[in-house]
Structure 1
């Protein structure tokens, strides 16, 4: 399979969003509106309809979950420890280490991972991908907040956090899709057609918004730490996932490729928002979003060439 036939449409949409925003055709306010429509309307419709149609019995695989999440947690721990050795002394605190760890392990699963996997492996893999994505943000964000001792410093509330995760449009739409699938609910042709129409532009809009948002970030003074986090994120993490999937659990070639490509996705922008909330490594994670996204073009090409 030609690599460019997979990568180019994705690069095209990201580059288009970046250029049109960088040139001022779209302002930050415009992109905020497009982002809201994309993440609260289109993507939930896309995730719900695909989860509703997914064969759940084939999508739920404990070995795949372990093969993905065990390396993620190990890399998170590695990032936490590395921060103590490579960050400036004033950023070697527990909360700063937790944020840097998030920057090494959190994947942009919806905006980048899902389109890459759909293009390279086909839409049949959407179900297994969504089962992995369901726990991704909740697991890593909760771990980051716990290690940052938010409960002691700024009154972090588990109730508020749980509510925000449950009402997260990605988690909520996948969860409702699973319930509707399990109950064999028939939405009717009219509603099915309406949701399908909303779902069609989801991935294209998500990639466009990703490119637009990249125009707002710059690679700052923390570029060395950002480069380290990027290499760990898009090279070391997927390599570890490959070992777990292909060698330890001996999963199928298709499932292995799905897990590796998902873990090879660049750092998600939400990790930067967590950094700004905790007020640690904001520049590092903002730079990592940009660097890992740019470098992921090369890493995806390598992984796709090898696995697909």
Structure 2
């Protein structure tokens, strides 16, 4: 109960504050979109760049940790795709978008925030390692499978597939920030003191601003679409993914700090990016939006459960 009060509820109160202010029309959609654009395209990229420019690559990037997390994510993607196609009779393109909902955890806005509140800023190396791989892995997998499906259905050649995937990935500002952070880290470059001070100020705005904007955006996502599909994706994201991650982490001997980061991140709801991915292709948008809303509410309980289980 103490974890719920001290760790989880403050995070969701910030989300709820954004939700209520939009609901009561104190802020409109245009204002929330501006706040989220600042968070996603400025503040959060600054956070990721700063973290990866300074992270200890030898200790943060534990192959067993990454294998545990991304095996769970990939398994949920495959099961989401297959279940949507063969159990719920969705089209192949809809099925890829639904599989993506089960693949993409909210690793930054929820996973990072809850892990930081639970274990402190010194326990986030595993989170940043996961985040560094998250967008490249998830978008790379989702876009590749979607383009293969579309090419097969249209009967066109797939020679342009690598270029399509790379263009889509590197037009994402988060991936650019992650890449630059790695380059600074590997090269030993450092940000000048004055610029680092400004960067630190920007970093401190990232999580609260993004959480607040997330609440505002969730207000417009009404629970619509096929409820059975939504609950299926919620079960994959909130139950199966952390269970696989926890089991593999235990079996592979991932240190406690890394296990906490991996399991808590895997227990988070799908992020808003699943709706962005669905909108890119015009597929399963209502399912994606409703899944984000419902799973975000349910992740209060998944986070509470794993905080009580983890060492």
Q: Normalising TM by the smaller chain, what interval? A: over 0.9
CA contact (8 A) 1:95 1:147 kept: no
Structure 2 residue runs of 5 or longer lacking an equivalent are none
Shift of 1:180: 1.1
Is 1:264 the counterpart of 2:267 in the alignment? yes
Task: Give 4+ residue runs of structure 1 displaced > 3 Å after superposition.
Answer: 150-158
Q: Which residue of 1 aligns with 2:288?
A: 285
Q: Which residue of 1 aligns with 2:120?
A: 122
CA contact (8 A) 2:126 2:257 kept: no
Shift of 1:94: 1.9
Q: Which residue of 2 aligns with 1:15?
A: 16
Is 1:306 the counterpart of 2:309 in the alignment? yes
Is 1:50 the counterpart of 2:51 in the alignment? yes
Q: Which residue of 1 aligns with 2:32?
A: 31
CA contact (8 A) 2:135 2:174 kept: no
In 2, Cα distance between the equivalents of 1:179 and 1:200? 23
Shift of 1:183: 2.1
In 1, Cα distance between the equivalents of 2:50 and 2:97? 34
In 1, Cα distance between the equivalents of 2:43 and 2:171? 16
Shift of 1:150: 3.3
Is 1:243 the counterpart of 2:247 in the alignment? yes
Q: TM-score if structure 2 supplies the norm length?
A: 0.91
What is the aligned length?
304
Is 1:294 the counterpart of 2:291 in the alignment? no
Q: Which residue of 1 aligns with 2:150?
A: 150
CA contact (8 A) 2:124 2:261 kept: no
Q: Which residue of 2 aligns with 1:225?
A: 229
Q: Deviations over 1:159-216 (max 9, x none)?
A: 2431332242222222212221222223222111111111111000110111111001
Q: TM-score if structure 1 supplies the norm length?
A: 0.92
Where do 1:91-110 residues align within 5 Å? 91=90, 93-110=91-108
